[in-house]
Structure 1
């Protein structure tokens, strides 16, 4: 999975051509606890890198999900509205939040690869 990148805020972005799927990492969902609500953006919305892409609420707290890269929302994971617990069950798979059409691929340069992210998380514990 060399096309996956991570942020220090524990979001992940998986590239597929000019489309980026965005979610939160297993570490993030573990810190949040049981996810009970997810707020997703409107399709067609343009989101800049670092802006709020979604909101996730758990039994512990509400937290923003920030866009790792800039783009236009082309799809949202509507399954999360009925089953927000999918984020806990499969954060790096079926628990994805949003898909963006990438507007600036150069922004990926500042993100971590899997090894760098794993090292970063170890330093947090």
Structure 2
């Protein structure tokens, strides 16, 4: 399984990339995508919505199940990836390229509390 070392992770299988402008790009990991199977629907959060860490932010549905996607840190949704919602199977093709939303974190240092690739790999048995 692919676990890029330049990302941060949550125990609930979201990946987080810190962008140069300080925003956080959020998606689901390859592990989550594999567990869900063929993804057929994505519900994105509303731009402008303020989220607390761990709050339901989006929903990904597969032929097997629906899964909530949680905010990795507190912040405000500043962008969503409508092309991913329009073509949910893009997550099956490239889980780390098909991001879901971008957050402006309430605390710029909050990302430091997330898992690195090694720690995330241990949670998935890799």
**Partners of 1:84 and 1:37 in 2: CA distance:** 6
Task: Indicate the residue corresponding to 1:107 in structure 2.
Answer: 110
What residue ranges of structure 1 are gaps of 5+ in the alignment? none
Answer yes or no: is 1:35 the counterpart of 2:16: no
**Partners of 2:5 and 2:119 in 1: CA distance:** 12
Q: Output the TM-score relative to the length of structure 1.
A: 0.91
What residue ranges of structure 2 are gaps of 5+ in the alignment? none
What do residues 36-77 of structure 1 show as CA deviations (whole Å, max 9, x unaligned)? 000001111111110011100000000100011111111101
**Partners of 1:75 and 1:10 in 2: CA distance:** 20
Task: Indicate the residue corresponding to 1:58 in structure 2.
Answer: 62
Q: Please, what is the CA RMSD of the aligned residues?
A: 1.4
**Partners of 2:108 and 2:53 in 1: CA distance:** 11
Would you tell me which structure has more helix in proportion to its own residues?
1
**Partners of 2:15 and 2:56 in 1: CA distance:** 14
Runs of 4 or more consecutive aligned structure 1 residues displaced over 3 Å after TM superposition: none
Aligned length: 122
Alpha-carbon offset, residue 108 of structure 1? 2.0
Answer yes or no: is 1:96 the counterpart of 2:123: no
Alpha-carbon offset, residue 117 of structure 1? 1.0
Q: Output the TM-score relative to the length of structure 2.
A: 0.90
